[in-house]
Amino acid sequence: MQSFGSIQYLSRQELDIRKWDHCIATSINGLPYAYSIYLDHMAKQWGALVLNDYEAVMPLTFNTKYCISYMYQPAFVAQLGIFGHQIKAALVEAFLAAIPKKFRLIEIELNQANPLPANPQLSKYFNLRSNYVLNLHAPYEDLYSQYRDNIRRNIKKAQQLDNRYQTNIPIAAVMELSRSQMQGISNLTDLDYRNFEALFNALQKENKAMACGVYSASDQLIASCAYVISNGRACYILVGNHPNGRTSGASHFLIDRFIHQHAGQPLVLDFEGSDIRNLAFFYSSFGATLETYPSLRINRLPWPLGILKTPAGKRTGAGE
């Protein structure tokens, strides 16, 4: 295996957070989820693998249950993985080899800039997941011209029904609508929502988060979402759609107004998915393009736990 220098595991307490956040901020693939503030709020526990003097890093989010340590993907965290300036397949392999053996189960998402390892003994643990992104650098008229006809029709319907788009709405209202929609189909907990609310409030003070909604003519919130923003990327998260808004074009209007608001800026709208066919079609209907990222599943649990544990294939809290 090619040598890149020293990759060492550091606990959260051992990390130099100033250097950590600088690495994420200056990396070619920085994401909001990888900053210390995000991980501190959303991960049960986390440490990291660090290459040399923070040339590249990999957050390791983990928990311990029944004396077994395992790596998992925290709520409202779509991608993590390796961050740095030059990320090649050999570097991915080196980081994976450095993951402490104490983690008997690994179920995590890497990021779109992390290539699959060339080694078939490692690549067998991966599959690719789907994400859709839309570059907003062009003028709104150019972006709008890429919408499918059904998106345009629904936007016009929302306007004809006097639906109203509003930014900086209370995050509590966004959470309430999202929770009502996800009830029974998500494993998100009350603590997950409380943690995200605290995170959102902290990020909003730094102008790195915003909550948006569409209100009906009767002033009912019928579609809403939050965005977390960094590294030229706005991640569409905590989505909620009220049944009263599903035939009024509210969700189409919600996304369109964000695009209109930020068109012509060096910003990418990240839809955080989806592997679900209908959602993938919906996001692509705005002109968004497919961007895949690796999902890693390694099961080193002792028998019989190893045969009882099935890979966690559902991501929660994302734009899905």
132-290: CATH topology: Aminopeptidase (3.40.630)
Tokens of 26: 């200056």
183 by Cβ neighbours in 10 Å (0-12 / 13-18 / 19+) ranks as exposed
What was the pLDDT predicted at 300? Answer: 87
Coil, helix or strand at residue 306: helix
pLDDT along the chain (320 residues), means of 10: 84 98 98 99 99 98 92 98 96 96 96 93 93 99 98 98 97 95 82 97 98 97 98 97 91 98 98 95 98 96 58 43
The CA distances from residue 100 to 68, 71, 84, 199, 307, in Å, are 13, 10, 20, 28, 22
What was the pLDDT predicted at 181? Answer: 82
Coil, helix or strand at residue 258: helix
- Alpha helices for the chain (secondary structure H): 17-26, 36-42, 89-98, 120-123, 140-144, 149-160, 171-182, 190-205, 250-262, 277-284, 305-308
Residue 127 · residue 295 · CB < 8 Å: yes
Q: Which residue has 């009263």 as its token pair?
A: 244
Tokens of 283: 């996001």
What was the pLDDT predicted at 304? Answer: 57
DSSP code of residue 228: E
Rounded CA-CA distance 242/177 in Å is 7
Q: Is the dihedral of CA 233, 114, 318, 136 positive or negative?
A: positive
Tokens of 176: 């309430």
The CA distances from residue 192 to 41, 66, 76, 214, in Å, are 9, 21, 8, 24
Rounded CA-CA distance 151/285 in Å is 7
What was the pLDDT predicted at 266? Answer: 98
| Domain pair 7-128+294-308 / 132-290, same fold | yes
What was the pLDDT predicted at 306? Answer: 56
| Phi-psi label, residue 52: left if phi above 0, alpha if psi -120 to 50, beta otherwise | left
Domain ranges of the chain: 7-128+294-308, 132-290
What was the pLDDT predicted at 311? Answer: 41
Coil, helix or strand at residue 102: coil
How many whole angstroms from its chain centre is CA 296?
15
What was the pLDDT predicted at 153? Answer: 98
Rounded CA-CA distance 293/303 in Å is 30
What was the pLDDT predicted at 305? Answer: 60
CATH classification code of 7-128+294-308 = 3.40.630
Residue 223 · residue 242 · CB < 8 Å: yes
